[in-house]
A and B are shown apart, each in its own frame.
Chain A
Amino acid sequence: MDKYYLIKRDSRYYYFNNENSEIVRSPIHCFDADKIVMPNHKRDADGYLALGQYIYLHVEQRGCRTIVYPSHEIYDYLPAKRPPILFAQSPKSENARRLKQRICQNLKSYAPSTLWEIDRYIAGAFDNTDAAVYRLAAIAGESLLPDESETVEYKSCEDELNKPEILSSIGAFANHKGGKLTLGVSDNKSIVGCEKLISKYGSMDKFSVMLRNFVRQGTNTNIYLNIRIEFEQVESHTLCHLHIPESPDIVLVKDEQLYVRSGATSQRLIGDRMIDFIYNRKRYE
């Protein structure tokens, strides 16, 4: 049983043993947290061990795993449960902070059933980490993501790429005001991530190259050169954003299909409507 101080290095929290310079990382090396009773002066505003404070820990090697838990001779714990382990405070992302803000702002407008669900969740295991805030936001129906619109569209693309749909969206945005197509989000704005899909191509760079190539092959203009591709990490998921600019030239998909954005959907124009669109476009050039 040794004294370990809570330190922070490169945005991560560690337990540091001053005497033998041993560093133990939380939470990978630890059990899941139960509530721990500990003196108030050791707690930070969120109830976790404050930076610079120490805790007595047992550190054991069990096979290839390092198990860390506080000495229950020093701290109270609930009998009949295994000794609780303290989670170091998780860094709070800007996204999580904004979600909390949105929930606090909208609390009074939630239906009683939603308030009931939130109250039940908070009464249970809410530990104020980013993951807990995201789960709470899902219960409350809050999302950081805007609704689909003239300039915003989502495709889930968890395991595979729906190429015809992606091409039609890109064509529609390019023939209208431009827009952002995000892969890894379902229609109801749930974040599903496209990391499984990206891993099939090996890396984000290779995935970007593949995307650009198939847009080049599927459209008639140089739009593929002007699409900006960026990746975003949200919780454990990866989103891929394609920023599509408005195109000065009419973009056709597969040499003959014309799509335009109409509200939150991509519409294919055929026959007279297609001719009118092209005529009007040329007239104003």
Chain B
Amino acid sequence: MSKRLSNYSFDELLLMPKKQLEELLQRAIDTILRTLDPDGEIVKELKENR
């Protein structure tokens, strides 16, 4: 199973290839969104307000 963002040290993140870091950050964003907005209400409201 892939490690989550906060399981890496800053040194590891600094040495990480750019593409891998971008994917890791995107996975972290998805995880954070799922935690804060498990039923998708906030994201739906943000889309409607745009």
- Residues of A at the B interface (CB closer than 8 Å) are 45-46, 100-101, 103-105, 107-108, 112-113, 115-120, 122-123, 126, 136
The answer to whether B38 touches A46, judged by C-beta atoms less than 8 angstroms apart, is yes
Contact with A along B25-49 (1 / 0, CB 8 A): 1001101110111110011011000
Q: A101-B46, A112-B13, A116-B13 are in contact. Are A122 and B29 (CB under 8 A)?
A: no
Residues of A within 8 A of B45 (CB): 101
Instruction: List the 8 shortest-distance A-B pairs measured between CB atoms, nearest first.
Output: A120-B6, A119-B6, A119-B5, A119-B28, A104-B42, A122-B35, A107-B29, A115-B28
| Assembled-state Cα–Cα distance A240/B7 (Å) | 42
Residues of A with C-beta under 8 A to B25: 112, 115
Would you call B42 and A115 a contact (CB within 8 A)? Answer: no
A-B pairs under 8 A by CB, number = 55
CA distance A126 to B37 in the complex (A): 13
Chain B interface residue count: which class? 20 to 34
Q: Which residues of B contact A (CB under 8 A)?
A: 4-6, 8, 10, 13, 21, 25, 28-29, 31-33, 35-39, 42-43, 45-46
State whether B32 touches A116 (Cβ < 8 A): no
Q: Among A46, A119, A126, which residue has its beta carbon within 8 angstroms of that of B4?
A: A119
CA distance A113 to B37 in the complex (A): 22
Looking at the complex, which one of A100, A115, A116 makes contact with B36 (CB distance below 8 Å)? A100
| Most A C-beta atoms less than 10 A away, residue of B4, B8, B35 | B35
Q: Give Cα distance in the complex from A101 to B8, angstroms.
A: 27
8 Å CB contact of A126 from B8, B29, B33, B35:
B35
Extra 20 A-B pairs, beta carbons < 8 Å, given A101-B42, A107-B32, A112-B21: A45-B39, A100-B37, A100-B42, A101-B45, A104-B46, A105-B46, A107-B29, A108-B29, A112-B13, A112-B25, A113-B10, A115-B28, A116-B13, A118-B32, A119-B4, A119-B28, A119-B32, A123-B4, A123-B6, A136-B36
Complex Cα–Cα for A46 and B34 (A):
11
5 A-B residue pairs with CB within 8 Å:
A45-B39, A46-B38, A100-B42, A116-B10, A119-B31
Task: Give the Cβ gap from B5 to chain A, nearest Cβ, in Å.
Answer: 4
The docked-state distance in angstroms from the alpha carbon of A105 to that of B46 is: 7
Bound Cα distance from A108 to B29, whole angstroms: 7
**Distance between B50 CB and nearest chain A CB, rounded to angstroms:** 10
